[in-house]
Chain A
Amino acid sequence: MNTAAWLIMLLPLFSAAAIGLGVFRSRKASAAISVGAVVGSFLLTLLLVAAGDDLHPSVTWLAIGGLQIDIGLQINGLSKLMLCVVTGVGSLIHIFSLGYMKEDRDISRYFAFLSLFVFSMLGIVLADNFVMMFIFWELVGVSSYLLIGFWFEKPSAADAAKKAFLTNRVGDFGFLIGILVVWAALGSVEFGDLAKAVSGETAMITGLAGFLIFCGAMGKSAQVPLHVWLPDAMEGPTPVSALIHAATMVAAGVYMLCRVFFLIDGTWAMEAVAWIGGLTSLLAALMAVQQDDIKRILAYSTLSQLGYMVMAVGLGSPDAAMFHLTTHASFKALLFLGAGSVIVALHHEQDIWKMGGLRERMPKTYWTFLIGTMALCGVPLFSGFFSKEAILDVALENNLLLFLVAVFVALLTTFYMTRLFIVAFMGKPRSSHAEQAKESPAVMTVPLLVLAVPSVIAGYFNAHAPNPLVLAASLGVLVFGMLLANSAYSGAKADPLPARFGRLAKALRDRFWFDEIYQWLIDHVQENLAKLADAFDRWVIAGLLVRGAHGTTELAGRVLRLAQTGNLQTYAFWFAAGMAVLLVFTLS
């Protein structure tokens, strides 16, 4: 069983290495290796789940003095659930990619990166200590960077990749300091040891550490204020957006919070986490209302749902967060793949106002997208309904204000998803591409159909009787949101909101100017500091000090050179005169 556990993680690494070493050779073989590896991991995961034991194999990576860092795999209920999500959704997305990336000349590179990503993600899921988690955290960041910038010749993709990496690095900085704080305070980085060492007395320091570590989650799970990279990350290929930026990597932050929940449990960090989550879900949902790019709408929706999950952790219910994470992974992957299917059919057109009327032309995509939308909006009996219910329950119990925020976010979610759905799929085609759209091939539609199944039923595994107040609120906003969107967008040729709300709509469309503010900060603080250091280097150290020393030496040389006429006879004269003086001194 231990071998199986190691293989789950290592198969994708072998695949990445194999493709990497033989890169640019056979494209088909590369794709087959990569798909085989992730499917293999999925089957092994099922084997582990069936076996049912908790495992904990580990090897030492680095041991110096009092510092011991292991690479260990912790396999328990939580990680098994996450393993299923990652390898399951991952397998489907790999298969979908076979169709989506068929035409691309760099398909080998694509699959190598994808395998590398799966390896790193599994590392996070299985990590049994903070340093290992940090290692794979960074690796996930890099593979995400490589995949966002997959079409690196496109400047926007290259810029988006850079932005994603750097924003994540800011979060990782907090994470690293958090790890150091924990290690210094509790003497270990291993989750098991830490869970034992945590007590009431350590609440202050673990709260601090927990918050710092949460900074890492803020980066990866794109929480405000580090959320800016996720919408730009949609520059990557769509299956990547589905896998990394909807289902798995962005969920890593939430997963980590659940994993180390013992650290923040009962400390002040909880409050901060809950509010950051709530704020993210609200802002992101608002921004989603006025986006026109199909992938960006889904990206903001992802942000908003991640905010939900983080809020649930902050309110003390990691179970609800993990529940929503699981259901969200399946229906959001479904939505992204559906969007990918649409984008391919429309020759890489992503503006929803150039779509329309896809219902008749792409029936399979239409129906599966509808299921995904209903699950996301929380239509009763779909998976999203149950998990959202669980979070609202927790919010109602703990914090009324956040409950109201969450309900409002649910309203917005219904509104923007209905808007997307109506504009893209209903009505009449608004461009020639949309008129000529054809259903995608089976290699793409089958994963859609397969993903549709958990999107419907995943909720039943953890369903419980809902609180009547919550039920009423969520049903109310659902119906209200749908009616509102329907009345605004049914048959619309252009978005009516900017005309009606003007400045507010513009603020939403411009995403509350987060990017502009950051750009200003970077330009004025970072760049000026760098300029200052550079100028100091050039003028003070190289100029004043070095040139100064050099100048004094040279000046002394110039003065002394006056005596050096180069005329031998003058030297002879001075020599004789000197001798004479010496003689006078010694003899008298």
Chain B
Amino acid sequence: MDWLLIIVLLPLLAAAAVGVVPGSQRRAIRSITIGASGLALLCALIAFCSFEVGGGLQFETKVVWVESLGLHLHLAADGINIGIILMGAIVAFAAACCADDITHRVKEFHILLNLMIGGILGAFASMDLFFFYFFHELALVPTFIMIGVWGRGARRNYATYKITLYLSLGALLALIGLIGVYVQTGAESFSIPDLIAKVQESPIDEAAQQWIFPLLMFGFGILVSLWPFHTWAPLGYGAAPTATAMLHAGVLKKFGLYGLIRVAIPMAPVGAQSWLGVLAWLALANLLYCGLVAVRQKDLNQLIGNSSVAHMGFIFLGIASLNVIGLTGAVLVMIAHGLLAALAFGLSGHLYRQTGSLDMSRMGGLLRQMPLAGSALLMALFAGCGLPGFANFAGEITIFFAAWSAGLKTVTVIAAWSALVIGGLYMMRAIRCILHGPLGGDWAKAGDVSPLIATALGLLLGALLVFGFVPGLLTKGIEGEAAKIVRLAKPAER
């Protein structure tokens, strides 16, 4: 079965379906979105379960689009992206469930939401460089519109400008890099497997690699909020509607990391060798610096945004280690963080709807007021500071081992400090301010989450716990692919 094609087409069809429903039928519109993403989740789950570890590319769909340019719609899954697609489908479903806080222009919002979901899932399923980029843009543009039109807060317009400029710039740099890859390989094809086969025979000219890799690294890096290009993230997520923040922070942001692993390192291994040291230190800046910034935040969304930027540091560090353990850990954290970020933004969206403010100094005692949401937030914050039992811990500790064995010892020590102590500090502070203590002033009338949202958040939490208890579900598949990439990048150590 072409599960991937179905997964990608379902949301796009749902976007079309929402387009023909009259805008007053809000319930129908929401049901279409939730139904489509639910079905996509089901398909992703079936695909994940029937995925054969070590079986190469699976669930392939290949449609010729422009023969002369070598453009194909090529969807396929291997050990790395099958997990990410499943995570994306879970987050998409949860985001669809959490989208009922939109009350005006519901139809337009849901069209964009479905387009974004389709784009996200398509980007991670594509094995063709062109569609890989195309689907990403398909998801990115609705993000900007959604923040601009349905966003919240006084600085919404500024946030929209900023996120649009930053992300467009990042996407542009990456595009130049990708074109560079295409031209330099001379493969006459946009297919990633073809390109990899080509560079295995005749690697890209080393001088060219020295400019292709940094372009890709910073281009993709900006998309993932690499320090010092990170300031768009907390601001943008603070202003974004709940569903958008969940999808972007959870899944779409991982595109840059995925691109680094999938394209940049295999295509320009020599460039990677000389630039990954820089990446490791920037990763450390993400972890330490953004962690410290998070400590100072008074607004819950700013705190989650900054801590999410800090967590990107782990993934960059894993990539910079450039060994099997590190790349596997990086993908593991990508998946874990996707689930976690969606959970955290879903919860903060619920809190925001109660009083229209996320000022932590005015909260307090919410664990009593809203036991379900409170417990979920408690667990999310624990997961965020790397508590074992959640998938984040499995990934983070793997990355520590990887970075240490890659010889990045100073970086690892400081990273461990920021993960354990600084991470603990801001998360504990948040729990203390929001959940513990006497009930805060405006919160006496606040209600708990609705059953629908509770289901969605429960799903995210459940996935975090399952992958935390049995990380082997993911790592077995990832490891093989990571090993291939490492062999490409370091032929000497074969």
Q: Report if A and B associate in a common complex.
A: yes
Residues of chain B within 8 A of A173, CB atoms compared: 416-417, 420-421
Task: Indicate whether A176 sits within 8 Å of B387 (C-beta atoms), given known contacts A152-B436, A153-B436.
Answer: no
Contacts of B421 in A (CB 8 A): 166, 169-170, 173
Question: Is A131 an interface position by the 8 A CB rule?
Answer: yes
Q: Contact: A530 with B231, CB < 8 Å?
A: no
**B424 contacts which of A24, A62, A169, A183 (Cβ < 8 Å)?**
A169
Check A530 against B424 for contact (C-beta < 8 Å): no
Q: Which residue of A lies closest to B162 (CB)?
A: A546
Interface 9-residue window, one of B48-56, B103-111, B322-330: B322-330
Main SS of the interface on chain A?
Answer: helix
Which chain A residue has the least Cβ–Cβ distance from B401? A67
B58 at the interface (CB under 8 A from A): no
A531 and B417 contacting across the interface, CB-CB below 8 Å: no
CB of A301 to closest CB in B, whole Å: 28
Stretch at the interface among B142-150, B292-300, B346-354: B292-300
Contact with B along A108-140 (1 / 0, CB 8 A): 000000000000000000000001001110110
- In the complex, whether B203 has a CB less than 8 A from a CB of chain A is no
A169→B295 CA distance, assembly (Å): 16
| Contact of A533 with B371 in the complex, beta carbons under 8 Å | no
Which of A42-50, A157-165, A454-462, A490-498 contacts its partner?
A: A157-165
Interface residues of A in 34-72 (CB under 8 A from B): 60-67
**Contact B428 A165, beta carbon cutoff 8 Å:** yes
Distance between Cα atoms of A158 and B364 in the complex (Å): 11
> A152 contacts which chain B residues (CB < 8 A)?
365, 367, 435-437
- Which one of B28-36, B66-74, B181-189, B391-399 is at the interface? B391-399
Tell me the bound Cα distance from A131 to B325 in angstroms.
15
Spot the interface stretch: A283-291, A415-423, A443-451, A537-545.
A537-545
Distance in angstroms from A464 CB to nearest chain B CB is 41
Residues A68-122 near B (CB distance < 8 A): none
Known: A60-B472, A169-B420, A169-B421. A537 touches B293 (CB 8 A): yes
Name the residue on A nearest B234 (C-beta): A537
B447 CB contacts on chain A under 8 angstroms = none
**Contact across chains for A153 and B368 when beta carbons are under 8 A apart:** yes
Residues from chain A with Cβ under 8 Å of B425 in the complex: 166, 526
Docked complex: B126-182 residues within 8 A CB-CB of A: 162
Residues of A within 8 A of B293 (CB): 530, 533-534, 537
Provide the B216-249 mask, 1 if CB < 8 A to any CB of A, else 0: 0000000000001001000000000000000000
Q: Which of B392-426 contact A (CB under 8 A)?
A: 393-394, 397-398, 400-402, 404-405, 412-413, 416-417, 420-421, 424-425
Instruction: Check if B387 sits within 8 Å of A142, measured CB to CB.
Output: yes
Chain A residues in 8 Å Cβ range of B435: 152
B328/A64 in contact, CB under 8 A = yes
Beta-carbon contact of B231 and A537 below 8 Å: yes
CB <8 Å contact, A65 and B420: no
Q: Nearest chain B CB to A323's CB is how many angstroms away?
A: 31
Please name 20 pairs of A and B residues whose Cβ atoms are closer than 8 Å in the assembled complex, sorted by A.
A23-B371, A61-B472, A63-B475, A65-B324, A65-B328, A66-B325, A67-B402, A153-B438, A153-B439, A158-B437, A166-B421, A173-B420, A176-B397, A176-B420, A177-B412, A180-B404, A530-B292, A533-B296, A537-B289, A546-B231
Give the 3 A-B CB pairs with smallest separation, nearest first: A158-B436, A533-B292, A65-B324
- What residues make up the interface of B, taking CB atoms closer than 8 Å to A? 162, 228, 231, 289-290, 292-293, 295-296, 323-325, 328-329, 365, 367-368, 371, 382, 386-389, 393-394, 397-398, 400-402, 404-405, 412-413, 416-417, 420-421, 424-425, 428-429, 431-432, 435-439, 471-472, 475, 479, 483
